[in-house]
Chains A and B, each alone.
Chain A
């Protein structure tokens, strides 16, 4: 077990360490100015020094991501369940999902900002919810449809009623797709919450701090805030991966 972990994590950690070392040496050797590319050690220093501020703003962005994520999950799940029952609903939402995937829907924040007061965080949360909704809807709707043929035949052979098939087969099957959707949606929620801040509204999140740092020529500090954003995204990803592992331990060994 330990050897397996080492084998899996060893190369990436090695690569990461080598990359950081090369970065540091490159900046020092070529005497690159900080406003172009700061040293990793300097970035870490700034991160450490500003940790209080970082935590304060990361919480705002993180909360937006979390609220939007939960709302999007709930709505996506409900809609997928309804769509499996009323196929017309599914047929109407499907083209919207395709369109949403093709266009940069993040620009909708500009519209949302006008619908609410300028001090409201709702536009950002709404944006995250919309993005998450489509991911969840597509995945869960697919899962609800996709019960395996063998399992459906078995249910038929037992003389199961439609409602029984839905309750005992389709829904548990669909829920496993929900958890997979979560793993995709969680980091995307953070990115969306982050990017939404660029469109205006209250400037108290991670995104605005980076802009501030640059405009006051504190580029290294800006990079420290970028690091914080990355850590936030990773946290959401790790948590969703854990949920997936806990809820569906069989995912890696699918039998059907």
Chain B
């Protein structure tokens, strides 16, 4: 079965051959199915953002391969097979909201009428149709991120790559955006790779949480999250807390095993 994303034997070394090389990632293997929502979580410097950028073909691996939809990462990028969203919305100040969403479509040569109708469709998806003609500075942080997500989805990529997109938002807006994201992904059927620092966020959003170890980044554990369809009550369910604890202990696990050779985790 071809997975949506296949990461095989990925290794990334920065400054290779120079005085202080840094092994950011070592032997990463991950297979992500169509429509799955995967979170990458780990301490600062564990390489999760690096891994995301490797899948995005924004940087190249030192060893190993990434295949997206059966193609190489480079081909996937060229064909527009994925959309990205970052912690900063990266909206262009000089364009209004709808023209910001149109940006990737312009670059891919879509004609004017089609661009406009698709952009408005996307804005409807993120519930910002009324703000189509406003400028980014007139919108709140959460709204700007929704525009960024609309832009990422504008050319209907099957894969969404997100690097802590809600990191700059306050807690309540964050929870709201998480619910929105789940709804949008259900509508579009997208596969998502989501980088985050927040354990509850990872558990709430994902089918599986990939826990990474500190540098050199490796996959320390993969936690299956079988919470069923999410709702506002999910965050208060016992099962949710159990899963959060499981992830937290997985995160702590390698700390303890590093300090005490192979010893007990508690």
Task: Give the residues in chain B near A168, CB-CB below 8 Å.
Answer: 103, 106-107
Which of A28-36, A134-142, A149-157, A218-226 is the interface stretch?
Answer: A149-157
Indicate whether A7 reaches chain B with its CB closer than 8 angstroms: no
Answer whether A148 and B88 are a contact pair too, CB < 8 Å, given A157-B77, A255-B93: yes
Known: A158-B107, A253-B137, A254-B137. A172 touches B84 (CB 8 A): no
Q: Which B residues touch A255, using CB under 8 A?
A: 89, 91, 93, 136-137, 144
For the complex formed, measure the closest distance between the CB of A47 and the CB atoms of chain B, giving whole angstroms.
42
Quick check: B92 and A158 within 8 Å, CB to CB?
no
How far is A185 from B103 in the complex, measured between Cα atoms in Å? 33
Q: Does B254 contact A (CB under 8 A)?
A: no
* Distance A174 CA – B87 CA, assembled complex (angstroms): 23
Interface residues of A (CB under 8 A from B): 148, 150-151, 153-160, 164, 168-169, 172, 175-176, 248-250, 253-256
A-B contact pairs, 23 of them (CB 8 A): A148-B88, A150-B88, A151-B90, A153-B53, A153-B58, A153-B84, A153-B90, A157-B56, A157-B82, A157-B83, A157-B84, A158-B103, A158-B104, A158-B108, A159-B77, A159-B80, A168-B103, A250-B136, A250-B137, A253-B138, A254-B93, A254-B137, A256-B93
Q: Report the nearest B residue to A169, measured CB to CB.
A: B92
Given A150-B88, A168-B103, A250-B135: 19 more A-B contacts, CB < 8 Å: A150-B90, A151-B90, A153-B53, A157-B58, A157-B77, A157-B83, A158-B107, A159-B80, A159-B108, A168-B106, A169-B92, A175-B94, A248-B93, A253-B137, A254-B137, A255-B91, A255-B136, A255-B137, A256-B89
Across-interface contacts of B78 in A (CB, < 8 A):
159
Residues of A within 8 A of B90 (CB): 148, 150-151, 153-154, 256
- Size band of the B side of the interface? 20 to 34
Task: Quote the shortest CB–CB distance from B83 to chain A (angstroms).
Answer: 8
Q: Give bound CA distance, A156 to B90, whole Å.
A: 13
Binding site for A on B (CB under 8 A): 53, 56, 58, 77-78, 80, 82-84, 86-94, 103-104, 106-108, 135-138, 144
- Who on chain B is nearest to A156 by CB? B58
Q: How far is the CA of A118 from the CA of B138 in the complex (A)?
A: 55
Report the Cα distance A143→B104, complex, angstroms. Answer: 22
Least Cβ distance of B50 to chain A in Å? 13
In the complex, the answer to whether A176 meets B58 with C-beta atoms within 8 Å is no
In the complex, what residues of A have CB within 8 A of residue B104's CB?
158
Given contacts A153-B84, A250-B135, contact A256 B91 (CB under 8 A): yes
Our pick among B91, B93, B107 for the contact of A176 (Cβ within 8 Å) is: B93
| Complex contact B136–A150 (CB within 8 A) | no
* CA gap between A160 and B106 in the complex, in Å: 10
Known contacts A153-B58, A154-B86: A160-B107 contact under CB 8 Å: yes
Q: Name the A residues within 8 Å of B86 (CB-CB).
A: 150, 153-154
Q: Which chain A positions have C-beta within 8 A of B58?
A: 153, 156-157
Chain B residue at minimal CB-CB distance from A161: B107
Shortest distance between the CB of B195 and any CB in chain A (Å) = 14
Shortest distance between the CB of A247 and any CB in chain B (Å) = 9
